[in-house]
Amino acid sequence: MRSIRTWFASSLAVAVCASSLQAQAGSPGSATAHEATRRPIVAVVGASVSAGFIDPAPRADGERNSTVKLARALGPYFGESEPELRDQSDLLLFLAPGESAKRQLERTADAKPELVLAVDLPFWFGYGRVDGTEARLRLQGELFALLEALFAKHGAPIVLGDYPDMRGADPRMLPRAAVPSVEELAELNRRLRTWAARHPNVVLFPLADFVAAARGDGAELVFGGETVRLGSALLMQGDRLHATRSGMAVLAQRLAQALSTGLPAAHPLRREAPDFEVFARHVGADGEIEDWLDAATATASGGKRR
């Protein structure tokens, strides 16, 4: 009888020990260890610039349009310890901005990323065929509500671009009725800045400045050890709405600069921004940039190539 009691006590002890080990395996400490070893996650949400839209119509100069996805263009910033990328961007967001953005942001919340890139997400919550200024502002309010819902689930830093001035874009791609007036654009940006200032996890990226330079006098950068100015014909596709491969290299380098200064000091994805030439090589734009600079120099010097 004693041996039976001894056996039962021993069995009970083993069961309790096993149960304890199972509990420890599912404990918060174990989850924390898992979190510490997983790669950081970067979620990309947005529209056609993030998704890599290529205008199918031929350019005026006969060259083909080209581009790359934002997630790829930004690769040099992350370096060898590249995070896990969750690209939710949608080329067709403009057809149903609210539905597409809600779907993208819900998936983003589920992924629990360390960083959210939403550079062109606000665009169609301001642009588009709507009936008057109040309707545009209500559309922007929908975006704010969707972002607040994301913040309620997950508070990772999110990079939002402001509203660029796209007047003069090809009307087959962006009808004039879909473009806000100068006054509406100013109000959209004012409201965005005010809203962003209330949320410490928002990094506001000056997309409007990038677009103004890319569609205007060009972008001044260091390339090949020289300070050069890359013109609009090199940086923008024929629709004057989407960036080329070279333009995406410029956009990525400026975004990297914004991340290197805008993310909290202890954030796992804050690091120094590489030089522009690193981004250009990464997306395969260095050759076309060299050709463009040679042609520009030859024109300026009466036929002599640099």
**Mean pLDDT of the chain, nearest integer:** 88
At a CB cut-off of 8 Å and minimum separation 6, what does 224 contact?
277, 290, 293
Q: Which among 264, 266, 244, 262 has a CA at the least distance from the CA of 254?
A: 262
Domain harbouring 250, CATH code: 3.40.50.1110
Q: Residue 173 falls within a domain, yes or no?
A: yes
pLDDT in tens, the chain (306 residues): 334 334 334 443 433 343 443 444 444 554 444 455 678 999 999 999 999 999 999 888 788 899 999 999 999 999 877 899 999 999 999 999 999 999 999 999 999 999 999 999 999 999 999 999 999 999 999 999 999 999 999 999 999 999 999 999 999 999 999 999 999 999 999 999 999 999 999 999 999 999 999 999 999 999 999 999 999 999 999 999 999 999 999 999 999 999 999 999 999 999 999 999 999 999 999 999 999 999 888 877 765 444
In angstroms, how far is CA 306 from the centroid of its own chain? 36
Q: Residue 159 falls within a domain, yes or no?
A: yes
Q: Which among 201, 37, 45 has a CA at the least distance from the CA of 111?
A: 45
At a CB cut-off of 8 Å and minimum separation 6, what does 199 contact?
151
Q: Are 53 and 91 in contact (CB under 8 A)?
A: yes
The domain tally of the chain equals 1
Residue 295 neighbours by CB distance under 10 Å = 13
Q: Residue 47 falls within a domain, yes or no?
A: yes
Q: How far apart (Å, rounded) are the C-alpha atoms in residues 127 and 167? A: 11
Q: Residue 268 falls within a domain, yes or no?
A: yes
**Length of the chain counted residue by residue:** 306
Q: How far apart (Å, rounded) are the C-alpha atoms in residues 113 and 56? A: 34
Q: Residue 112 falls within a domain, yes or no?
A: yes
Q: Are 207 and 196 in contact (CB under 8 A)?
A: no
Residue 134 sits in which domain range? 40-300
Q: Residue 33 falls within a domain, yes or no?
A: no
Q: How far apart (Å, rounded) are the C-alpha atoms in residues 251 and 279? A: 10
Q: Residue 198 falls within a domain, yes or no?
A: yes
Q: How far apart (Å, rounded) are the C-alpha atoms in residues 204 and 135? A: 23
At a CB cut-off of 8 Å and minimum separation 6, what does 120 contact?
46, 47, 48, 49, 50, 161, 207
Q: How far apart (Å, rounded) are the C-alpha atoms in residues 114 and 78? A: 13
pLDDT digits (tens, 9 = 90+) for 56-93: 998 887 888 999 999 999 999 998 778 999 999 999 99
Give the global pTM: 0.85
Q: Residue 109 falls within a domain, yes or no?
A: yes
pLDDT digits (tens, 9 = 90+) for 78-132: 987 789 999 999 999 999 999 999 999 999 999 999 999 999 999 999 999 999 9
